[in-house]
Structure 1
Amino acid sequence: MARNSKRIRGLTRSLVMIILAAFIMIAGCSSNSNNGGNSDATGQPSGGPEKAVTVAISADPGIDQLDAGAYKGAMSVHAMIYDGLVEYGEKGSILPALAESWDISEDGKVYTFHLRHGVKFSDGTDFNAAAVKFSFERWMNDPANSLNVAAALQSIDVIDDHTLTMTFNKTYYPFLTELSFARPVRIISPSAVEPAGAVTGKFVKAVGTGAWMAESYKTDQEAVLVRNPYYWGEAPKLSKIILKVIPDPQSRVLALQSGAADIAGGQPGKLPVESVPVIESDSSLSLQKAPGTNSHFLIFNYNTPALQDLNVRKAINLAINKKSIIDDLLDGIGSEAKGLFPLTVPYVTDQNNTWYGFDPDEAKQLLAEAGYSDSNGDGIVEKNGTPLELSFVLQQAEFPEWKSVSELIQSELKAIGIAVNLQILEPNAYYDALWTTKAYDLIMYRTYDDAYNPHAFLLSLFHKTAEAPAVAWSDAELESFIDTAVGSTDLLVRQKAYDSIFGRLYEEAMFGALYFPDEVMAVNKRVKGFKPGYTTFTPVFWNQLDIGEE
């Protein structure tokens, strides 16, 4: 009996030693992790539940071609995987990102960037000034790149591992703004190409310093992003984001209602306006609205004789009930346009953001002053025997609501004596009419978004090039104001120039203002920490999202 008790005590001691050794081994493995022993390979606390959300997107994100220096793949995913030197903040403020600070020479042509220390790419390789130079040299000489930061960049020089200079051939204040874009200015690891480090190397996989990295990808189905274990900033609260491709807008709404998707909307996967009441009535979903940075408006063809008359352009603006567009057609998703850009855009203020109201009687009076009258009683005014009849071009593939908006405008212009013939075109034909043939009198269009406004849009549509006149409206005085604005390093001079730009647009009624749309997203209430981003390529502050119970 004593012998058996001794044997049992021996077995017990052996079992204790085995268990103790197992704990020591587990602790040793944990202490060797990349996150100080508190997290697994994705940055998720060890033993904690996986936190994932599913985002419904409209198109394949192109993970296999998500080269930081190219224009392929989803911009929103570019911004999740790759960081830039700087980041676009609220109302165009420029914030530090991979560059902690920067200096600009007095003539505005030399930028010195001071880079963060201790940053690594998602494969563990070091981020440094040489990696920035490598990234930029892959695209800066590409003739297809229209960015000023590319065309004007003369040299990029590495001073040391954490300092570099960029020298430009002109003064242009939006250089920093362009460096915040989602592509192609973001930084990719030299290890992401073959052969590694070769500027002309073939892109192999997306390797960035951003908070997220690709785990898996099925073309036209889904992409799974997980946390970058080497991320230099505050770690995301989620461990995984699943991007599910759902091309049909109504199907995205159904996915939200069924729980197959947690988030949808914004540029990654727009929601149909008519579905807003459905989402608002669903107790499991919340509708998130935020003022957008673009506007929808009418371009006037300055080659159309009738539209060369300022009174006619003013009359068209005064005849359009912009409040009715918002209230009756868009379910309150947006606001009346009071200029070319909303207040969310840099340099737009309450003082310079003004436009024509709704006054059909004044519109009729202006047409009469321009020499138009309805001599035969058919409801359409004429001048010198020619009826005031305009072709109105639009497309609805990208913006389904444009059809109902255009029909309302057609009705309101008819009420003041202008006949409007609607032409709904397929996107290719629509853009051909806009950019090439100018086969329209009126065409509905939208401004660019966030970091591209106001400078890039004004240069693109309201400023001539060496090859062609301005796209939207040609005016030498307006162009001189634009040149002053983009070429000044003085903030006060820029603001004064933009005040003059917006004033000139108003005085000459160079376009037809319509509405400023809101950015709309639907979010499952189990998702916490939702906050809309400041750009369309970062529609959500992804790193702040979390999962919680109601």
Structure 2
Amino acid sequence: MIVKQKTLRYYYWVAVEFAKKHLKLIVVSFFLSIVAIVSFISFSPYIINFATAKNEIIGVVGTGQINNLPDFILSKISNGLIFINEKGQIISVLVEKWDQSKDGKTYHFYLKKNIYWNDGSLFTAKGINYDFKDVEMKIINDYEIEFQLKKPLPIFPTYLTKPLIKYPFVGVAGLYKVDSFKSQYGNLKEIYLSPNKSNFPYLVYKFYENETKTINAYKLGEVTQIEVTRQSVLDYFASWKNTVIDKNVDYTRLMTLFFNMNSDYLKQKDIRKAIISAISKKQFKDEGVESIGPIPPISWAYNLNLKKTGFDPEMSDKILNKSMESSKSATLQIATYYDYLYIAEAIKSDLEKVGLNIKINTLSYNQPSSFDMLLAYWKVPLDPDQYYFWHSTQKQGNIANYNNIKIDKLLEDGRSVTSVEERKKIYFDFQRTILDDAPAYFIFYPYIYTIRRK
């Protein structure tokens, strides 16, 4: 009994001395434990939701930038002031209405009320951050904003479709909101989206430098979904039992062979048409959907009656033989990027069969300052207004240095009216004219293969 009392007394004094010696550590640990328990209780619903909800981890090729999110992410987390539907009609999203001055230079937009940013703050005119060249923006009050143009532009509202973003990634009335992100030197590495509706999955986007690294990430299980353009990749994944492959067409990009209209040789319309007739599109059938003109077939302004340019190497050879021998013997350069070299090689082979000397010049990421022909994708706008790409005054966007009075007039007319039917007639004529004049060869819209786990 005496031994037991001594033992209890011993442990008592040991505990007292320990408490005295480590009192500060005990107090801090106690408060940290309380904070941890409260935090767990507060955030446990979100943790449980993320753990139990369907999550999609998507591998993306390229480097996303903090100041320039990819369109497919922007459209998920925010909205523009207006939306254009598949019929070309303008639909109000964040605005109640708008009006235009008699001279067509001033627009007033009146915002809807009780609209909120994804962070819970009220959306007002102060949050509109569009930056247009030659357009002055003025806030009248919280729910009215004015745009002052230097020249009349009846289709100006169509430029207000870009989703609005408040730094860093706060959208307005989006289906998703950004929970967190990881970046390095201003480039996004990962971005996490949570849904604003309960039946939507959580989304995680991981960015990789190139397609090869993205594919490897899928193999290693880092991501559950990737998009690729190379059909050769599909054969590898076709045997994976837990993988599904979906095939779609990207109508926002158009593989095109641009002719430099400043070239003395390529200025000749017959020469350009002969080059086009010498190239077989059938060899690209696995790359994408054949294109006829610069406006995609899903557009309300697409002309169904366009005449295809047939593959006729014999005719091409005759036309080229009529041209000056010195010109035909000269070397024409096809400038392109590394990823499109195999397409350039196929074109080179076809053109050499009709007697042309072709050299391929591999480019870096920058647009070349000089070339004979340029093989590249260009981003096709949602609206058929392609003023930026083909009007003679557009030195930056007009890659081909194209100058055609009729095309200029049609592009000007197309943006001077708002009636869908009137614009359709104008753009039908635009497509016929540009196809006949051939400043470029429109080849295909690429297939996009989505590889995802079941």
Q: Would you say same fold, with TM above 0.5? A: yes
The alpha-carbon distance between structure 1 residues 345 and 387, as it changes in their structure 2 partners (threshold 3 A), is same
C-alpha change, 1:86 and 1:357, in structure 2 (3 Å) is same
SS of residue paired to 1:414: helix
SS in 1 for 2:120: coil
* CA separation of 1:152 and 1:315: change in aligned 2, threshold 3 A: same
Paired residue for 1:424, among 340, 355, 362?
362
Give the deviation of 1:346 after TM superposition.
Answer: 4.3
8 A contact 2:79–2:162 mirrored in 1: no
- How do 1:443-458 and structure 2 match up within 5 A? 443-451=374-382, 453-455=383-385, 458=386
Query: Which has a greater percent of strand?
Result: 2
What is residue 286 of structure 1 aligned with on the other side? 244
Q: Distance in 1 between matches of 2:60 and 2:395?
A: 38
Aligned to 1:409: 347
Report the CA distance between 1:49 and its aligned residue. Answer: 2.4
Unpaired runs of 5+ residues, structure 1, are 1-32, 34-38, 67-71, 141-146, 189-202, 229-234, 327-331, 373-381, 526-550
**Who is 1:505 aligned against?**
434
Give, in angstroms, the shift of residue 95 of structure 1: 3.4
Q: CA deviation at 1:454?
A: 3.3
Q: Name 2:171's counterpart in structure 1.
A: 208
Shift of 1:405: 1.0
CA RMSD of aligned residues (A): 3.2
Tell me the secondary structure at the aligned position of residue 445 of structure 1: strand
2: CA distance between counterparts of 1:42 and 1:155? 43
Is the CA contact (8 Å cut-off) linking 2:273 and 2:438 kept in structure 1?
A: yes
Matched ranges for 1:325-364 at <5 A: 325-326=284-285, 332-351=286-305, 353-364=306-317
TM-score (norm 1): 0.66
Give ranges in structure 2 of 5+ residues lacking alignment: 1-41
Match of 1:463 in 2: 391
Partner of 2:35: none
- Between the aligned partners of 1:426 and 1:416, the Cα distance in structure 2 is 29
Counting only pairs closer than 5 Å after superposition, residues 40-119 of structure 1 correspond to structure 2 as: 49-62=52-65, 65-66=66-67, 72-90=68-86, 92-99=88-95, 102=98, 109-119=105-115
Corresponding residue for residue 10 of structure 1:
none
Aligned to 2:407: 478
Residues 41 and 174 of structure 1, relative CA distance in 2, 3 Å threshold:
farther
Aligned to 1:177: 158
| Normalised TM-score (structure 2) | 0.78
Q: Is the 8 Å Cα contact of residues 288 and 521 (structure 1) preserved in structure 2?
A: yes
Query: 1:264 Cα deviation (Å)?
Result: 1.6
Question: What is aligned with 2:337?
Answer: 395
**CA 1:166–1:207 in 2, change beyond 3 Å: closer, same or farther?**
same
Are the structure 2 counterparts of residues 206 and 515 from structure 1 closer, same or farther at C-alpha, using a change threshold of 3 Å? closer
For residue 225 of structure 1, the aligned residue among 183, 193, 197 is 193
Distance between the aligned counterparts of 2:411 and 2:120, measured in 1? 45
Cα separation, 2, equivalents of 1:306 and 1:271:
34
**Residue correspondences, number:** 405
Percent identity over the alignment? Answer: 22
Q: Which residue type is aligned with residue 347 of structure 2?
A: I
Q: Say if 2:111 and 2:125, in contact at 8 Å, map to a contact too.
A: no
Which of the numbers 304, 310, 324 marks the counterpart of 2:263?
Answer: 304
| Residues 414 and 60 (structure 1), Cα distance of their counterparts in 2 relative to 1, 3 Å cut | closer
Q: CA deviation at 1:164?
A: 4.8
- Higher radius of gyration, 1 or 2: 2
Partners of 1:271 and 1:469 in 2: CA distance: 25
**1:304–1:239: structure 2 CA closer, same or farther, 3 Å change rule?**
closer
* Secondary structure of 1:90's aligned partner: coil
The alpha-carbon deviation at position 218 of structure 1 amounts to 2.2
Contact 2:155 2:418 in 1 (8 A): no
How far the C-alpha of 1:338 sits from its partner, in A, is 1.1
Contact kept in structure 1, 2:388 and 2:394, CA below 8 Å: no
Distance 1:40 1:181 in 2: 34
Deviation sequence 1:451-498 (CA, Å, 0-9, x none): 3x532xx32332223878953122222111111111222333322221
Give the aligned residue type for 1:478: I
Shift of 1:287: 2.4
